[in-house]
Amino acid sequence: MHVRPLLAFASLALCGVSQAAPQATGLPAGGGLDARKVVESRYGAMSVAGTTQRIEGALATVMIDNSAGGPAGESVPVTFGQVFAPGVLARDKKLQGATANGATLPLQVDVKALHPDGSVRNAVVSSVVPRPEKGKPFALGIVEKPSSLLGSIGDALGGAASALPDLAAIGTGASVSLTLDGKRYTATLDRRTALRPATWLAGPVANEWHVEAPLRTAAGETHPHLNVRFALRSYSGMPRARVDVTVENNWTYEPAPRNFTYDAEITLNGAPVYTRAALTHYHHARWRKLFWAGGDPGVEVRANMQDLIASRAVPNYDPSVLVAESTLAALDARWQGPRTEPMGTGEAHPAMPTTGGRADIGLLPAWTAMYILSSDTRARKVMLGTADLAGSYSAHYRDKRTGRPVSLLDYPYMTLTGTPGDTYNPATGKQELFPACAAPDACRSPNIDDVSHQPSLAYVPYLLTGDYYYLEELQFWAMYNVFNSNPGYRQNRKGLMSPEQVRGQAWALRTLAHAAWITPDSHPLKQHFLQILDSNLDWYNATYPHNPQANRLHIIVNGYALGYNEGTGMAPWMDDFFTSAMGHIAELGFAKAEPILAWKANFPVERMGGTGVCWIDAGIYTMKVRDSAAAPFYDTIAQAYAASHKPEFLTLPCAGPEMAAALGLAVGEMTGYARSEVGYPSAMQPALAYAVGATGERGRSAWERFMARPVKPDYGTMGPQFAIVPR
């Protein structure tokens, strides 16, 4: 079986942030300010980053942009994902597209998920639009119309499937050939040989079919590990069709998993469209390529980011943060070479357990936050490209029986870190042990997955595109997180994240909540994710807010939380990650997260304004919380603060020149790399932002003090992943 090494306690640090980062200027206070006025007062009249022209009366508006310079006026197809806040779009609303000049366009709305009140949460929208002039995007509004709402809640994978169309009739034929070990294996997009056909989009504008295609030799020999999945999207009356190709090496229980090196070729209508020699495909990983038969439409759909933030699907990023042109240019310049090809990882760190402040750590990665705040094409390219490459990590386990990501509810004793005895399922009398690799080095990969340093790679890409590949990436990672730990520690099918590092609990719960929130209602895994999330929230509620014996510091103390100073210290910044994650989960509408947030929010608030503390050191790296590993926790933040500092430091006036001199900082500068976008104060910002709504006046006071500090990072030039403000 695959046993992951335990991380040394040295890897618990978020260290390595340079104190030499330039001092920022002018980060606005946020939270209740008029973002447009803030921007205009500082930069003059201009658009707030991420805004979109609105169509009057529209339920949502997107921008259609000519991204490739094709001829204006040509009819081209578009498909995009759209999320709606509760109550915005009733399930029986009748919709059409509308432009600013009064033109109307047909819309197909494939509804995927509903809010508890029955209104639409998420849908995939398709239309045929005129390509705009280069540099002159136009707004497309989703408005009511007097005809039936197209699409249905049952059209997700797992619902009724329709056969593939006659591929010759739409001019589409695709195949994948892999040559390895002296044999050539081929998989073809063919309705006669397709396995498990399923329908993703269905209607008068667009249809999309998904199939599994085995790789076989001319003699009929099927490769036991490698497999191809095709997604074919066609548009009625259009000469274009999209072919989505994914090559996988990820069967969960296939014996002797290993890496494979092969020569790859993809053909479309008999012509090669992609070739790659000597590609090493890592175990339990996959790679993806997209092609257009009949030519790429060359248009980009940009969501209204203010609507996206208002839906609460993503955190409340400060809209007055302007992402610098130099930052976007640098992001674009890095997007080249092997890191952007199959088995590369794009902007994500190849070795996730690597310590230090990083652009991929946060509720969402820096590049995703950049796109949310800028709607810039370069940030979009990097965001979607890195999401494609999320498949390069060995965290993808597909159940050959169902064809879906393997589920903890189906195999409650599977694990990446247990012993064979740990995997025995008494209900079935079988071990759920993953097969051992074919040889000691057969599964070696430079791409190392991890729970405690795991970015959110595919969630927002799915929200914005509706591409099923991204949905499955989210599902793969959510399930990986819950079966990664020992079955006994996680209480088997409950999938408790409590044994992990505190930051691991934060990021795993975030990803699990994303999967539970956005997975289509008809998808067989929807209830699995909801049940596992529910089990986790029940555990935290019973352990902390509903427990009279819970510690009075309002800190997480389970898992590896107390891994500092011989079991007496914890990491406030890591605890802030957990508070932030719980705030985000509560905003998504999971009510059981609200008591946990209300309880947890006290800790960052007390560090900013509690009795006996100085807010300058609220971003302290470690805090002593008890006298010994066997002693009870301190009752007050003042006790913890006093125990964490030398007596002579405690006598200094808070935030005064003497304290600044003792710390080697500017007057009013917080400790913990306050000038850096990944310093400990930055990590604290989302926790404080969510604390405002959870703790009322105390939270507002703490937030105001935090934002009034004179030294802040410039999120626009460094990275805005922590630029979150109260709603």
161 pLDDT band, cuts 50/70/90, is very low
242-255, pLDDT tens digit by residue? Answer: 999 999 999 999 99
Domain 60-152 in CATH 2.60.40? The answer is yes
Residues 474/421, Cβ–Cβ less than 8 Å: no
Q: Say what the pLDDT of residue 11 is.
A: 30
Residues 227 and 506: their CA atoms lie apart, in Å, by: 33
**Token digits for 639?**
């006790």
Helix, strand, or coil (residue 228): strand
**388: burial class by Cβ within 10 Å (0-12, 13-18, 19+)?**
buried
Tell me the average pLDDT of the chain: 90
Residues 417 and 483: their CA atoms lie apart, in Å, by: 9
Helix, strand, or coil (residue 672): coil
Q: Say what the pLDDT of residue 18 is.
A: 33
463 pLDDT band, cuts 50/70/90, is very high
The torsion defined by the Cα of 247, 249, 252 and 256, in degrees rounded to 10, comes to 160
486 pLDDT band, cuts 50/70/90, is very high
Residues 131 and 133: their CA atoms lie apart, in Å, by: 7
Q: Please tell me the pTM assigned to this model.
A: 0.92
Residues 341 and 336: their CA atoms lie apart, in Å, by: 9
Q: Is the pLDDT of residue 655 over 90?
A: yes
Residues 614/659, Cβ–Cβ less than 8 Å: yes
Q: Is the pLDDT of residue 487 over 80?
A: yes
36 pLDDT band, cuts 50/70/90, is very low
Residues 290 and 41: their CA atoms lie apart, in Å, by: 44
671-721, pLDDT tens digit by residue? Answer: 999 999 999 999 999 999 999 999 999 999 999 999 999 999 999 999 999
Q: Would the CA dihedral through 643, 644, 645, 650 be positive or negative?
A: negative
Q: What are the CA-CA distances from residue 382 to residues 122, 329, 335, 463 (Å)?
A: 23, 11, 7, 16
A 10 A CB-CB count for 506 gives: 28
As a whole number, mean pLDDT of residues 73-79 equals 95
CA-nearest of 129, 136, 19 to 80 is 129
Beta strands in 67-115 (DSSP E): 75-83, 95-99, 104-105, 108-114
As a whole number, mean pLDDT of residues 71-89 equals 95
541-577, pLDDT tens digit by residue? Answer: 999 999 999 999 999 999 999 999 999 999 999 999 9
**Token digits for 460?**
């927002």
Residues 639 and 216: their CA atoms lie apart, in Å, by: 68
A 10 A CB-CB count for 270 gives: 8
Supply the DSSP symbol for 183. Answer: E
Q: CATH 2.60.40 occupies which residues in the chain?
A: 60-152
Q: Output phi, psi for 245, to 5 deg.
A: -115, 125
As a whole number, mean pLDDT of residues 399-407 equals 97
Residues 33 and 35: their CA atoms lie apart, in Å, by: 6
**57: burial class by Cβ within 10 Å (0-12, 13-18, 19+)?**
exposed
Q: Say what the pLDDT of residue 16 is.
A: 32
As a whole number, mean pLDDT of residues 350-355 equals 94
- Tokens 């009064």 belong to residue: 102
Helix axes 697-707, 680-695, angle to 10 degrees: 150
C-alpha gyration radius of the chain = 26
Q: Is the pLDDT of residue 160 over 70?
A: no
Q: Is the pLDDT of residue 608 over 90?
A: yes
As a whole number, mean pLDDT of residues 521-537 equals 98
More confident residue, 358 or 162: 358
Q: Say what the pLDDT of residue 162 is.
A: 57
32 pLDDT band, cuts 50/70/90, is very low
Q: Is the pLDDT of residue 64 over 70?
A: yes
Encode 466-496: b = buried (16+ Cβ within 10 Å), e = exposed: bbbbbbbbbbbbbbbbbbbbebebbebbbbb
**Token digits for 613?**
């503390």
Q: Say what the pLDDT of residue 52 is.
A: 60
Q: Say what the pLDDT of residue 339 is.
A: 96
Length of the chain: 727
CA-nearest of 35, 81, 41, 89 to 62 is 81
Three-state SS string over 273-319 comes to: EEEEEEEEECCCEEEEEEEEECCCCCEEEEECHHHHHHCCCCCCECC
Q: Say what the pLDDT of residue 8 is.
A: 28
Helix axes 602-609, 680-695, angle to 10 degrees: 110
Q: Is the pLDDT of residue 39 over 80?
A: no
Judged by phi (left if over 0) then psi (alpha if -120 to 50, else beta), residue 48 lies in beta
Residues 300 and 298: their CA atoms lie apart, in Å, by: 7
Cα–chain center distance at 46? 30
End-to-end CA distance of the chain: 46
As a whole number, mean pLDDT of residues 517-537 equals 98
Largest CA distance in the chain: 83
367 pLDDT band, cuts 50/70/90, is very high
Q: Say what the pLDDT of residue 163 is.
A: 63
According to DSSP H, which parts of 47-195 are helical?
Answer: none
- Tokens 């029955």 belong to residue: 118
* Pairing outcome for strands 120-130 and 75-83: antiparallel
Judged by phi (left if over 0) then psi (alpha if -120 to 50, else beta), residue 512 lies in alpha
263-320, pLDDT tens digit by residue? Answer: 999 999 899 999 999 999 999 999 999 999 999 999 999 999 999 999 999 999 999 8
Q: Would the CA dihedral through 607, 718, 363, 686 be positive or negative?
A: positive
CA-nearest of 570, 677, 685, 663 to 616 is 663
- Supply angle C-alpha 555, 557, 558, rounded to 5: 140
Residues 54/139, Cβ–Cβ less than 8 Å: yes
Q: Say what the pLDDT of residue 197 is.
A: 84
Residues 352 and 725: their CA atoms lie apart, in Å, by: 27
CA-nearest of 589, 590, 596 to 547 is 596
